[in-house]
A and B are shown apart, each in its own frame.
Chain A
Amino acid sequence: MYTNTYLLKLSSNMAAHQTARHNIVANNIANVNTPDYKAKDIVPFSKIYNVQTLSPSLNRPSPDRLVVEDRTASEKPNGNSVSIEEQMVLSAQIQNDHALAVSIYKKGMSMMRMTLGKNL
């Protein structure tokens, strides 16, 4: 099961997940002053993908439910619940996780090249 294509597929799905999360965080940061805007986040990767079979998890939320409202965020007087500090920390995490996924992918590719031998 743990073939090289599994590794490539998993890491590319992880990178896509981080991209989607970054889109949401960018939207949150842009709306830091909009009244009644609630901060959003994405469902964690482990809940979306079944890592054993590398297919979408059986009890994952439907596509329109992937983006959830962040209920732990506190509200400001104008109804807005975005905290810039939290969002900046999240975006740093996202960048790291994305870089991790991309380097795993690169390593997978270089392992493939190694098995093919120096003549290729």
Chain B
Amino acid sequence: MEFAFTNSIQHASDGMKAQSYRMRIVSENLSNADTPGYKRKQLQFAQVYDTQAGRQVLKAGNVSLDRREGERVFDPGHPLANADGYVEMSNVNMMLELADAQQASRSYEANLSTFKQAIEMYQGLIDVLRR
């Protein structure tokens, strides 16, 4: 059922879904920060035309891997050490991931407050019916 603020609410929920998917990717990266050989994941945002919904929809998808080399640590006793005694650790940069997490959280809150405003404005409209 469509009403005046349908579009606002749909956009806000698209944004919230995208940002929470982004948080998920960040937490996966952070939890694997010490896994040897782990490549961090990256997310792409795009606006695609969804034929089922009949409008432009924000899609957070297309998870790709950051192919940079991880830090090489000298540890001959490690089971995964190569011939020179080096182990390649993950290429996750903690600072980068934490900053990303903070941005995702901020954007999520912005979308949430948009949603709340839409609801409040709609309630203001319904209020007119009250005597």
- Give chain A's interface residues, CB within 8 Å of chain B: 15-16, 18-19, 22-23, 25-27, 29-35, 37, 84, 87-88, 91, 94-95, 98-99, 102, 105-106, 109
Q: Which residues of B contact A84 (CB under 8 A)?
A: 106-107, 110
B65 at the binding interface (Cβ < 8 Å): no
How far does the alpha carbon of A87 sit from the alpha carbon of B110 in the complex, in Å? 9
Q: Which residues of A contact B7 (CB under 8 A)?
A: 23, 26-27
The residue that B5 contacts in the complex, of A22, A37, A88, A109, with Cβ under 8 A, is: A22
Which B-chain residue is minimally distant from A84 (CB atoms)?
B110
B113 at the binding interface (Cβ < 8 Å): yes
Most buried by A among B12, B15, B106, B120: B15
- Contact (Cβ within 8 A) B128 A30: no
How far does the alpha carbon of A18 sit from the alpha carbon of B5 in the complex, in Å? 11
How far does the alpha carbon of A96 sit from the alpha carbon of B5 in the complex, in Å? 16
- Contact (Cβ within 8 A) A33 B18: yes
**20 A-B contact pairs sorted by A residue (CB < 8 Å):** A22-B8, A22-B118, A22-B121, A26-B12, A26-B15, A27-B7, A29-B12, A29-B107, A29-B110, A30-B111, A31-B15, A32-B107, A33-B18, A34-B45, A34-B58, A35-B46, A84-B107, A94-B117, A98-B124, A102-B125
